[in-house]
Structure 1
Amino acid sequence: MTPAPPPSAAATAERREVDEQTVAALDAWWRAANYLSVGQIYLLGNALLREPLRAEHIKPRLLGHWGTTPGLNFLYGHLNRVIGERDTSAIFIAGPGHGGPGVVACTYLEGTYSEIYGDIDRTAAGVQRLMRQFSFPGGIPSHAAPQTPGSIHEGGELGYALSHAYGAAFDNPDLVVAAVVGDGEAETGPLATSWHSNKFLDPVTDGVVLPILHLNGWKIANPTVLARIPEEELLSLMRGYGHTPHLFSADADEPHDSVHRRFAGVLDAVFDEIADIKRRAAEGSLEGRPAWPMIVFRTPKGWTGPKEVDGQPTEGTWRSHQVPLVNARDTEEHTRLLEEWLRSYRPEELFDDDGALVPLVTALAPKRERRMSSNPVANGGLVRRDLRMPDFRDYAVDVPEPGQTTGEATRRTGEWMAEIMRRNPETFRLFGPDEVNSNRLGAVFEVTDRQWNAVTQEGDDHLAPNGRVMEMLSEHQCQGWLEGYLLSGRHGVFTSYEAFIHIVDSMFNQHAKWLEESQHLSWRAPVASLNYLLSSHVWRQDHNGFSHQDPGFIDLVVNKKANVVRVYLPFDTNTLLSTMDHCLRSTDYVNVVVAGKQPTANWLTMDEAVAHCTRGIGIFDWAGTEVEGRIPTSSSPAPATSRRSRRSPPPRSSASGCPSSRSASSTWSI
């Protein structure tokens, strides 16, 4: 297999140029988004500059990131034009999520923000509240957080924009995910790895990810690597990743109408290529893996901001990364510079006397669910469907007496999971770093294959362009894919070795924070839980030894709030089946299940396992002798008479060990 060639130049040469009215609308959007973004960083009052700017109008503490924001606003407005003209379903992922003021501004311009937050309406008072709340006590974060409509990617921790984007695109054939990759973010290991996601995309059954590498040249104080290598080297790198790169460079002094026309042409060429690839794939005439287009978007850092502050160049330098005018409240000179900056966007042309946006600003905004900020995919709980679940009891192992039979718990669970895949061919996937077989879940390959759209060779094992098993030797990638898949409304399991799951510690933290914040937002519908199935655990690493022994992931997890995390320690086949059934039915949790894959004794019948899992803790009189004065011995667990709903986890309890050595046992630890 070789990458399919892009359409010929002749196929896209006769493309109409955008007209004057469209250019005017694009520029009005960009100016309005930039104005609102600067206002969010700086303004406490006088939101529409209806009077001269004074110190008391400026926030006492200035927080936020300006440098990347104008580029994000520019891209958002231009994508809206394409969405409207082509009736495209799309979502926007801001890899530099610290450009939060821009994403918030764009969702306000689309109208979605006011629909969700009624007090942030399209009046002068609403604009004031929009600006005041940003990075302010009792307000909103400075990133593209769960509070931001249309966001499935917070961006506070860099590196996962493409992984999240591809996760959302899997099994969404009509979706385009515009994923902006910051050039600082591009230096992270997870992001560098995630360029390879295009080898796992099926052009027929999956959607499209459009990577946009935003090169503005600087991080906080240092230049970025990809902005400082020769252009041909950069383009060769993108081609080597399997993309067709489209280069766009803007100069700070170029007239804005010219910039808009040129980029509109680039974007039309890109979407023509996407349409051509999707058409050929649907017709069956696409040969090999397509070289999907991507955009190298080179713009000045802090574009349209102050060119110079205190005698130092600012626009196009690292000085515009965060707050270019740090003394705007404290010095008359900076106050005047801020007012000049804000007035450069001509707000009197963007807002009417009542503070409402003039029609030109929103002329290109898509309607209803075509808006990227209100696409249901970006509020995945709205499109989530419950899994069609086989009865886990049908997979029970026989336990005539405790410990009389043995089995591999995860192998049996793999058989049950295979049936889940059979019944849910578009909404359930299994993710793992090349360990599905190792973790004894190989039965799933009786139903599906590993998704793979790179070169295949004779002797390969279960590779296909449209498989349901996602394996790549990168825990970051697997977790990022799964998070994007879950946040766009689907279900999945991440299986890995217990000792190596630490690689995604910080990703777990970020996702747990996302769920915690989302639970406070009535408009965000619950999403399926993120389920870890960790095998090869610390107690059974006979052959790998110390390098594969580390139960510490649990320590990290239990530091989070109980309304977000659960840890489960099923000790045999039937308790694992009961536990996993429960986890796959739950929502808005991170469930960590640690289970053995090696042959071990089976202790409980299925009825006993269900009763025990429902309680969360139990005492087995056959497993030990209680000391007088301690908890009284009880009989083996009996079937529960009033079982809690399996859709919500049980209350907190504590782990107390293995039933083979102590009489008290627990399936979950919190």
Structure 2
Amino acid sequence: MPDAPRQDSRTSSRTAPTDEELRTLDAHWRAANYLAAGQIYLLANPLLTEPLRPEHIKPRLLGHWGTSPGLNLVHTHLNRVIKARDLDALCIWGPGHGGPSVLANSWLEGSYSEKYPDASRDAQGMELLMRQFSFPGGVPSHVAPEVPGSIHEGGELGYSLAHAYGAALDNPDLLVACVIGDGEAETGPLAGSWHANKFLDPVHDGAVLPILHLNGYKIANPTVLARLPEEELDALLRGYGHEPIHVAGDEPATVHRAMAAAMDTALDRIAEAQRAAREDGATGRPHWPVIVLRTPKGWTGPAEVDGEPVEGTWRAHQVPLPGVRDNPDHLRQLESWLRSYRPEELFDAEGRPVADVLACVPEGTRRLGATPYANGGLLVRDLPVPSLDDFAVPVDKAGTTMHEPTRVLGDLLARVMRDTADRRDFRLVGPDETASNRLQAVYEASGKTWQAGTLPVDEHLDRHGRVMEVLSEHLCQGWLEGYLLTGRHGLFSCYEAFVHIVDSMVNQHIKWLRTSRRLPWRAPIASLNYLLTSHVWRQDHNGFSHQDPGFVDHVLNKSPEVVRVYLPPDANTLLSVADHALRSRDYVNVIVAGKQPCFDWLSIEEARVHCARGAGIWEWAGTEDGTEPDVVLACAGDVPTQETLAAAHLLRRHLPELSVRVVNVVDLARLLPQGDHPHGMSDFEFDGLFTTTKPVIFAYHGYPWLIHRLAYRRTGHQNLHVRGYKEAGTTTTPFDMVVRNDLDRYRLVMDVIDRVPGLAVRATAVRQRMADARTRHHAWIREHGTDLPEVAEWSWNA
């Protein structure tokens, strides 16, 4: 078992802050508000040492003021409790474009200047901080990878709470605060994330403190939760398993006192719940606190502009004073607004924050912008992936034995789970499909984490388990992202068709990784690994709704230095690919592999070599005689590989004089040109593999046009003929799925005859036999409900 979590910093109530402490908290908050507003407006004159002039104002005013004062309030009060209780803490900033606030606070505490020395904590650095915000060559308006202390991309809403729980898993000493905007709270992923508390283990996991920030409005409309009566909102939150603590008001002194009390109450309740579980052995699910913070949108900003109310309305959402450069009244109003924070009290003559402003700020890595939990690559350890030889299936002759690839992988994952039992830094997540996807061997090493009620009929539930199943792909993705970004490892297993639910989430994560790679202070994290199974070709029983291989297309549109796509054709190649993915850093690895029995083609040594190559000739499968082949049969994916090998078998029997090359592609990015992807092939390699003049019949797992897109600039592209999924699906037999989509062995042979010069006349009879086989298949399955015996009983050596 891991060392016992630290207890002393959370076990006793704290006294209420004194008036002096409240005064310094207010100073910190005002300083953060001043810097946040300054970032939206100012190019120069950061300390207002002279009257504002139009040339001090940015030509394009971008940013979001409305949420900033509330975020600054949370940051200020988190500082206080972190320092007072000596906490390890992380904050997830959910309300969209809250960048001005988090940037302001990281600059005040010094963590920003440590990462970006040019933005020093003085007037010169303050000017740079303000100038660069939402400015060409600067930083985005949201909480992005460039912001110290962040693990959450603020440009898209809905994922903050899932990320927070992912960060807390297996981090028993960590407090993860999560600010949820009331606009964000309307999204489906966030609504589902409230149930994550049923999976949080109070013994081995840290605590999540949700802070629901209700400022009343989105861009132009009121928010649902802010308009609920308090009694109804409380009932909702209690139904989710939380105990609400309310803070509300618009008078700073009152709100500061209430917020301090709320933070102390929440942390005392968290401490007691953890103490009861860790020391007394309590097994009941805690009802964790949630703070409901109601403050006006755009608080402390302009109350009215051009006769229209602003503070407390949707008009405060972005830029409250839009015409500052051209409208003298707006300019005067902006100066009055900025001076209302009394910057001369907050910063000395050189622009450094004064002692009162910094009184609440923790030191060192306790600062929210400096916590190593927000730079998970500093904490990540190599995953103990065992030797593949312990799990490989024996292959004496290709295509004679069969295994379920994901079941074989499940044995390896069980070993990884067992070998990380003490360090607790590996999790398997999935939407209720671990056993369905044949990975149930992991239950021998760890059960499914579950904090809700249980019944005698339940299986494999474990309060301390590290397999996570919930029927929400959003929640699985969010958990795993938060887990990886804080320095751990994991794998997401999902039905291929339904991983599309997280298309947008993986897009954001890829953008995060791409940006992080360009920041020298961000250390590489473990890769986000997908295992997509129950795939399109073996969803014959569930039918058309479960048949969609397009996630690969989506991912390959993204940053090439980040994305990797693998289609292992058998169990041993799946082991080899998984070994690489689990050891890798800063990638999104998509592995598509079947769970149904499929032929074993390669030994583990052959699989290692083939996967390292990414694409290669299977000499044993072709009939090349040392000269250029007449045709190339290419394949990518387990079912396309089987159909290609069966087609090669038929050609060997019916057209023995034909010289056939068989090429298998495991790493799809190998088809790209060398300059477009790190794994791409040079033209020399590609032409040598596929030839420049011979027809290439390519059987592909997904939508056929992707292969054309990847290879369209190659010399021999005009010779490339791709078969794949073309939305011809239904509930039917496995082989009928490939027939319906013209990916079957008989159709591939017909393609060869149609495209190899001279065969159309010479091999007419063979082509007719292939067409007849397809006709027989059609009649057979409707009479018998099963595939033709010659298909069902086929093997390479038959």
- Following superposition, the deviation at residue 661 of structure 1 comes to 4.4
2:136 is paired with a residue whose SS is: coil
Is residue 381 of structure 1 aligned with residue 380 of structure 2?
Answer: no
Q: Which one of the candidate residues 277, 280, 285 is aligned to 1:281?
A: 277
Alignment of 1:587-666 (within 5 A): 587-625=585-623, 630=628, 659-661=645-647, 663-666=662-665
Higher relative contact order (CA 8 A, sep 6+): 1
Structure-2 separation of matches of 1:659 and 1:130: 61
Structure-2 separation of matches of 1:631 and 1:428: 47
Structure-1 separation of matches of 2:242 and 2:29: 28
- Following superposition, the deviation at residue 229 of structure 1 comes to 1.1
Aligned residue type for 2:291: I
Q: 1:623 to 1:547 in 2, by over 3 A?
A: farther
In structure 1, the partner of 2:129 is: 130
CA contact (8 A) 1:623 1:661 kept: no
Q: How many residues align?
A: 637
Q: Which one of the candidate residues 359, 364, 371 is aligned to 2:360?
A: 364
Q: 1:348 to 1:570 in 2, by over 3 A?
A: same
Alignment of 1:500-515 (within 5 A): 500-515=498-513
Q: 1:656 to 1:412 in 2, by over 3 A?
A: closer
Q: 1:626 to 1:539 in 2, by over 3 A?
A: farther
- Following superposition, the deviation at residue 560 of structure 1 comes to 1.2
Of stretches 623-632 and 545-554 in structure 1, the one that deviates more from structure 2 is 623-632
Structure-2 separation of matches of 1:661 and 1:432: 36
Structure-1 separation of matches of 2:344 and 2:48: 9
Is residue 82 of structure 1 aligned with residue 81 of structure 2?
Answer: yes
In structure 1, the partner of 2:439 is: 441
2:225 is paired with a residue whose SS is: coil
Structure-2 separation of matches of 1:584 and 1:13: 42
Asked which structure has the greater CA Rg, the reply is 2
In structure 2, the partner of 1:179 is: 178
Structure-2 separation of matches of 1:296 and 1:141: 28
Q: 1:15 to 1:390 in 2, by over 3 A?
A: closer
- Following superposition, the deviation at residue 284 of structure 1 comes to 2.3
CA contact (8 A) 1:571 1:658 kept: no
Q: 1:575 to 1:205 in 2, by over 3 A?
A: same
CA contact (8 A) 1:570 1:576 kept: yes
Aligned residue type for 1:191: L
CA contact (8 A) 2:13 2:264 kept: no
Aligned residue type for 2:159: Y
Q: Deviations over 1:399-451 (max 9, x none)?
A: 11110110000001000100000001201000000000011001001111000
Q: Deviations over 1:7-50 (max 9, x none)?
A: xxxxx998632112211110111000000000101101111100
1:326 is paired with a residue whose SS is: coil
In structure 1, the partner of 2:221 is: 222
Structure-1 separation of matches of 2:416 and 2:631: 39
- Following superposition, the deviation at residue 186 of structure 1 comes to 0.3
Aligned residue type for 1:26: L
Is residue 411 of structure 1 aligned with residue 407 of structure 2?
Answer: yes
Structure-2 separation of matches of 1:345 and 1:656: 71
Is residue 322 of structure 1 aligned with residue 318 of structure 2?
Answer: yes
Structure-1 separation of matches of 2:156 and 2:316: 20
Q: 1:13 to 1:542 in 2, by over 3 A?
A: closer
Q: Deviations over 1:210-240 (max 9, x none)?
A: 0000000000000000011111000010000
Is residue 391 of structure 1 aligned with residue 387 of structure 2?
Answer: yes
Of stretches 478-487 and 266-275 in structure 1, the one that deviates more from structure 2 is 266-275
- Following superposition, the deviation at residue 257 of structure 1 comes to 2.2
Structure-1 separation of matches of 2:645 and 2:585: 30
CA contact (8 A) 1:493 1:533 kept: yes
Q: Deviations over 1:439-480 (max 9, x none)?
A: 100100111100000001111011111111010000000000
In structure 2, the partner of 1:650 is: none
Structure-1 separation of matches of 2:142 and 2:13: 40
Is residue 260 of structure 1 aligned with residue 259 of structure 2?
Answer: no
- Following superposition, the deviation at residue 633 of structure 1 comes to 10
Is residue 556 of structure 1 aligned with residue 559 of structure 2?
Answer: no
Aligned residue type for 1:471: E
Is residue 421 of structure 1 aligned with residue 420 of structure 2?
Answer: no
Aligned residue type for 1:183: D
CA contact (8 A) 1:196 1:241 kept: yes
In structure 2, the partner of 1:105 is: 104
Which structure dedicates a bigger proportion of its chain to helix?
2
Q: Deviations over 1:123-159 (max 9, x none)?
A: 2111000000001000001111000000000121100
Q: CA RMSD in A?
A: 1.8
1:360 is paired with a residue whose SS is: helix
In structure 2, the partner of 1:355 is: 351
- Following superposition, the deviation at residue 632 of structure 1 comes to 9.0
Is residue 154 of structure 1 aligned with residue 153 of structure 2?
Answer: yes
In structure 2, the partner of 1:651 is: none
Aligned residue type for 1:607: E
Aligned residue type for 1:56: E
Structure-2 separation of matches of 1:661 and 1:247: 69
Q: 1:261 to 1:493 in 2, by over 3 A?
A: same
Q: 1:575 to 1:661 in 2, by over 3 A?
A: farther
1:209 is paired with a residue whose SS is: strand
In structure 1, the partner of 2:297 is: 301
Aligned residue type for 1:88: L
Structure-2 separation of matches of 1:250 and 1:393: 64
CA contact (8 A) 1:656 1:666 kept: no
Q: 1:287 to 1:552 in 2, by over 3 A?
A: closer
Structure-1 separation of matches of 2:529 and 2:594: 16
Aligned residue type for 1:27: D
Structure-2 separation of matches of 1:418 and 1:466: 16
Q: Deviations over 1:254-298 (max 9, x none)?
A: x42222112211111111111111111111253410001111111
CA contact (8 A) 2:13 2:268 kept: no
Structure-1 separation of matches of 2:628 and 2:287: 68
In structure 1, the partner of 2:459 is: 461
Structure-2 separation of matches of 1:403 and 1:13: 66
Aligned residue type for 1:433: P
Percent identity (aligned): 63
Is residue 521 of structure 1 aligned with residue 549 of structure 2?
Answer: no
- Following superposition, the deviation at residue 553 of structure 1 comes to 0.6
In structure 2, the partner of 1:193 is: 192
In structure 2, the partner of 1:211 is: 210
Could you list the runs of 5+ residues in structure 2 that have no partner in the other structure? Answer: 1-10, 633-640, 649-661, 670-798
Structure-1 separation of matches of 2:408 and 2:425: 22
CA contact (8 A) 2:108 2:121 kept: no
CA contact (8 A) 1:619 1:633 kept: no
Structure-1 separation of matches of 2:376 and 2:299: 33
1:91 is paired with a residue whose SS is: strand
TM-score (norm 2): 0.78
CA contact (8 A) 1:566 1:590 kept: yes
CA contact (8 A) 1:657 1:666 kept: no
CA contact (8 A) 2:374 2:485 kept: yes
- Following superposition, the deviation at residue 656 of structure 1 comes to 13
Q: 1:355 to 1:660 in 2, by over 3 A?
A: farther
- Following superposition, the deviation at residue 484 of structure 1 comes to 0.1
Alignment of 1:531-550 (within 5 A): 531-550=529-548
In structure 1, the partner of 2:483 is: 485
Aligned residue type for 1:413: L
Q: 1:98 to 1:503 in 2, by over 3 A?
A: same
- Following superposition, the deviation at residue 621 of structure 1 comes to 2.6
Structure-2 separation of matches of 1:503 and 1:184: 21
- Following superposition, the deviation at residue 626 of structure 1 comes to 5.5
CA contact (8 A) 1:95 1:185 kept: yes
In structure 1, the partner of 2:773 is: none
TM-score (norm 1): 0.93
1:560 is paired with a residue whose SS is: coil
In structure 1, the partner of 2:568 is: 570
2:302 is paired with a residue whose SS is: coil
Q: 1:52 to 1:630 in 2, by over 3 A?
A: farther
Structure-2 separation of matches of 1:599 and 1:104: 53
- Following superposition, the deviation at residue 668 of structure 1 comes to 1.1
Of stretches 506-515 and 90-99 in structure 1, the one that deviates more from structure 2 is 90-99
- Following superposition, the deviation at residue 659 of structure 1 comes to 5.0
CA contact (8 A) 1:486 1:529 kept: yes
Structure-2 separation of matches of 1:556 and 1:91: 32
